[in-house]
Chains A and B, each alone.
Chain A
Amino acid sequence: MNNTEIVKRGLGKRYAREKRFRLYGRCAVFVGFIFLALLLVDIIVKAMPAFSVTEIRVEVDLDRDNLGLPAEGPVTAKMLAGVNFNGAIRKGLREAFPEATSRKQQKALYSLVSSGAWFSLSNQVADNPQLIGQKKVIWFRADDDVDTYYKLGRRTSRIDDLQAGYIDAMDGGNLIRTAFNTALFTNSDSREPEQAGIRGAVMGSFWTLLVTLIVSLPVGVAAAIYLEEYAPQNRLTDFIEININNLAAVPSIVFGLLGLAVFINFFGMPRSAPIVGGLVLSLMTLPTIIIASRAAIKSVPPSIKEAALGIGASHMQVVFHHTLPLAMPGILTGSIIGMAQALGESAPLLMIGMVAFIVDVPGGIFDSATVLPVQIYLWSDSPERAFTALTAATILVLLVFLTAMNAIAIYLRRKFERRW
């Protein structure tokens, strides 16, 4: 048997092995795809219920007598504050279901409407005092357990037969409907899932990112200019570069410890405030911005710099008049990607107290705030089932923001990318 035959005999096996190897590779790629698809589909399916909300139709009698207001004269805000709107809503419910006479039946009936319903009624009346004296049909948000039962047909333990009977009766009489959940975008955090929204978290993220951008972009670009254009080749420069590379790989939670020890305990900055969160996140994104900016500055061809130097510009004029504008698209792309990372980051913010339950929408960088990812973390921990859907919906909103930021970065890169 000669060598050719030996090789030929083994050939089938070797080709089979080749095919198998190729298949493994293809499988690996598809495993990645499948996980991505599973993740996204799972979150979208879980989020769907949060975008709609169940409402109950109640005809409220806003008669002065009924509300306990004086028969004549103007109605002041102080008088309105004393009005028992809850009683008016309950009366409307009783009129819709006259057969509910026992205390138990009435209690079941009242529990169908969200416990915050009177508040929205009170706001409506305060905004529009002409309503007083009229009979008005108003759709109130249902309680979250009712919402789950009506939308998904799933009974939680808190819906008993009596309540279920009323809901079914309402469904038959067109007294109950589902509508788009605007509260998700206009309200802030709440203990009641049907009242909870993400506006506070979105604003908190906005303020935090604003601080991050204002701090990290100038500092990062300045550092990149120094390292690319001015830094002498010495130990100090090497040390700075090693530091930047290591900071890029330090776990984010360690930055949280830094923020707690330095900004809060040493400098006495306020806990839970976007200013501290923004500073911590800017230290975290600094390496990303520096590395991206250095690459962008490096890619500006030397011929342009030399031409500017040749006609008498100083080194700094070359940098600020020519190199920096030409490197700007690359710097901006890197910064947007860094900002997207900062937007999704939550671990260091847990350390500096941005996990508090905050109902008010933060109005500035010194107010207590929380951010979108931390809101996701907080809600995912809540026992109420309805919060799961809210969490998933918040994730979708966060992913939309991230996609938009990355799309802008890709667009910038495509539009301004130049090959010299």
Chain B
Amino acid sequence: MQSSTLFIVIAALALVSFYTGRSRAQQARNSARLLALPAHYGYMAAMWSALPAIVLLLAWLAIEPGYLNNRIIASLPASIVDQPGEAVHLYVNNVLLAVGNGGVSDDPAIEAAAGKYLEAKRNSRILLSALVIILSLSGILFAMTRYLIRQHARRRVEAVVRIALMLCSGVAIVTTIGIVLSVLFEALRFFDSVSIIDFVFGTEWSPQTAIRADQVGSSGTFGAVPLFVGSVLISLIAMLIAVPVGLLTAIYLSEYATRKFRSTAKPTLEILAGIPTVVYGFFAALTVAPFIRGLGESVGLSVASESALAAGIVMGVMIIPFVSSLSDDVINAVPQAMRDGSLALGATRSETIKQVIIPAALPGIVGGVLLAASRAIGETMIVVMAAGLSANLTVNPLEAVTTVTVQIVTLLTGDQEFDSPKTLAAFALGLMLFISTLLLNVVALHIVRKYREQYE
């Protein structure tokens, strides 16, 4: 049986178990005092029926591929098994490929191995189906015994649900660990072939891999400095737009604007935050970049058609609402007494803002700006669509630069084998990106939290 069919069978049997357990409890209620509601007995019976079966099914599905692979290797002739590990691996892959084609292959040896594999898989599935159904049914049988109604069903059910809730909140930890491990593991494999010093401090990036091993320049150079300079350059342009505009917007809306203006202006600006980044990318690549190029040419400057300036400006626009809403929060958190005190001394409103509110809110604002910067560095679609592809070590905003995220996308889209340094380089870049944004976030969140505590 297919694993999805098995899940449906388990669910159906659990339902049967629920009704069995509940009716059993309802009957028992006539003669004795029960510790819980009949429905709780139903839930407990359903859990008995479903949980062991699901655990078995998942464990089986996790172990099965490895077991079947070993079976293939065990069935291979000695002439192949004695070869070095990679050749065996390749052979097994060929067998699996043949299995995917329904067990047909040009090579009779592979076809025989594939046949054995399919047979082993069929046997394994028959055994699995039988075990799962036996487990589910035994849960139902168990629900019919007197043992069920002697239990405190509500406590048992609630304990299980509570564990399930806890596991769900653990998904956040598992995700983080998954990110760190998957990126770190592939990055370490990359650093086996390229030294970490060359990667972090190298100034030349040309990740070509050769078609033939003896080709000139087949190794490629992986110096990530131009990518980081590009990322920082574009983010810097974005911050130059977003910080003044976002901060002044927040100040105006929280200190000057009437309630009515504020209640329309704030959601309108937040539309900017809700627009997908791919839309900004389209706008940057097809409208802003040609406009800047035309503008530059009209004053005699040569501007690349994929200039850092265009991508940076559009990214800045995207971040405006982010900066403004974070600054808005911290400005509103400044106690009213400080404003009143300053105004009472005769300061104008702008003097109050500049000399009292901003200094008081500064840590929070800096935290917000750092968060915005981490978003700018990690932003992908705008730069993929509007920034260049070739690594160019420059700080001139009119030239085309490439970024870390652009290179990750170009290295990993398209069909290539997974083990080449070219694809592994993407994971090394991902690791650097993850570490740098994580550092920015941790510092920013720390500053913001410290600041909140100050005024709470």
A residues in contact (CB < 8 Å) with B = 7, 14-15, 17-18, 21-22, 24-29, 31-33, 35-36, 39, 42-43, 46, 218-220, 222-223, 225-227, 230-231, 239-240, 243-247, 249-258, 260-262, 265-266, 268, 283, 286-287, 290, 314-316, 340, 343-347, 350-351, 353, 355, 373-374, 376-377, 380-381, 388, 391-392, 395, 398-399, 402, 406
How far apart sit A315 and B159, CA to CA, in the bound complex (Å)?
A: 11
Task: Contact check, B244 vs A351: say whether CB atoms are below 8 A apart.
Answer: no
In the A-B complex, the 6 residue pairs with the smallest Cβ-Cβ separation, listed nearest first, are A251-B378, A25-B252, A344-B276, A261-B182, A28-B248, A222-B168
A396 CB, nearest partner CB in chain B, Å = 10
Q: Does B126 contact A (CB under 8 A)?
A: no
Cβ contacts under 8 Å, A28 to chain B: 244-249, 252
A to B CB contacts below 8 Å, 21 in the list: A21-B353, A24-B248, A28-B247, A35-B320, A222-B164, A223-B171, A245-B445, A250-B437, A250-B438, A253-B408, A254-B430, A261-B186, A283-B175, A290-B169, A314-B154, A316-B162, A373-B278, A381-B385, A398-B279, A399-B279, A402-B274
| B120 contacts partner chain A, Cβ-Cβ < 8 Å | no
Contact B348 A14 (CB under 8 A): yes
Interface 9-mer from B11-19, B131-139, B264-272: B264-272
B245 touches A346 (CB 8 A): no
Query: CA A257 – CA B407 in complex, angstroms?
Result: 13
Which chain A residue has the least Cβ–Cβ distance from B254? Answer: A25
Distance between Cα atoms of A113 and B342 in the complex (Å) = 75
Contacts of A399 in B (CB 8 A): 275, 279
Q: Which of B109-117, B140-148, B282-290, B301-309 contacts A (4 or more CB under 8 A)?
A: B282-290
B374 at the interface (CB under 8 A from A): yes
Complex contact A376–B182 (CB within 8 A): no
A255–B434 Cα distance when bound, in Å, is 10
Cβ of B108 under 8 Å from chain A: no
What is the total number of residues of chain B having a CB less than 8 Å from a CB of chain A?
A: 89
Distance A265 CA – B183 CA, assembled complex (angstroms): 12
Q: From residue B14, how far is it (CB to closest CB) to chain A in Å?
A: 17
Chain A interface mostly: helix
Pair B251/A25 contact, Cβ less than 8 Å = yes
Complex partner residue of B173 from A18, A36, A230, A239, CB under 8 angstroms: A239
What's the Cα separation between A61 and B412 when bound, in Å? Answer: 52
Question: Is B434 within 8 A of A7, CB to CB?
Answer: no
Question: Which B residues fall within an 8 A CB radius of A?
Answer: 65, 154, 158, 161-162, 164-166, 168-173, 175-176, 178-179, 182-183, 185-186, 244-249, 251-253, 255-257, 265, 268-269, 271-272, 274-283, 285-287, 317, 320-321, 324, 346, 348-351, 353-354, 371, 374-375, 377-381, 384-385, 405, 408-409, 412-413, 418, 426-427, 430, 433-434, 437-438, 441-442, 445
Could you say which residues of chain A place their CB within 8 Å of the CB of B275? 39, 344, 399, 402
Question: Whole-angstrom distance from the CB of B175 to the nearest CB of chain A?
Answer: 5
- Please, how many angstroms separate the alpha-carbon atoms of A374 and B279 in the complex? 11
- Asked whether B277 lies within 8 Å of A26 as measured between CB atoms, the reply is no
A283 to B430, CA, bound (A): 17
Residues on the A chain within 8 Å of B178, using CB: 258, 262
Chain A residues closer than 8 Å to B348, beta-carbon distance: 14-15, 17-18
**Residues from chain A with Cβ under 8 Å of B247 in the complex:** 28
Set of chain B residues within 8 Å of A258, measured between Cβ atoms? 175, 178-179, 182-183
Q: A21-B353, A250-B434, A316-B162 are in contact. Are A42 and B249 (CB under 8 A)?
A: no
CB contact between A226 and one of B154, B168, B280, B282 (< 8 Å): that residue: B168
Q: Measured between alpha carbons, how far is A7 from B347 in the docked complex, in Å?
A: 11
Q: Is B385 within 8 A of A377, CB to CB?
A: yes
Please name all residues of chain A whose beta carbon is closer than 8 Å to the beta carbon of B158 when the two chains form the complex. 314-316
Docked pose: A381 CA to B410 CA in angstroms:
14
Asked if A29 meets B249 with Cβ closer than 8 Å, knowing A253-B433, A347-B405, the reply is yes
Contacts of B287 in A (CB 8 A): 42
A247 and B65 in contact, given A25-B249, A351-B409 (Cβ under 8 angstroms): no
Distance in Å: Cβ of A36 to nearest Cβ of chain B: 6
Q: With the chains together, A386 CA to B91 CA distance in Å? A: 48
Smallest CB gap from B349: residue in A: A18
- Tell whether, in the assembled complex, residue B165 and residue A226 are in contact, meaning their CB atoms are under 8 Å apart: yes
* Cα of A393 to Cα of B276 in the assembled complex, Å: 14
Which residues of A sit under 8 angstroms from B430, Cβ to Cβ? 253-254, 257
B408 contacts A257, C-beta separation under 8 Å: yes
- On chain A, the residues within 8 Å of B349 by CB distance are 18, 22
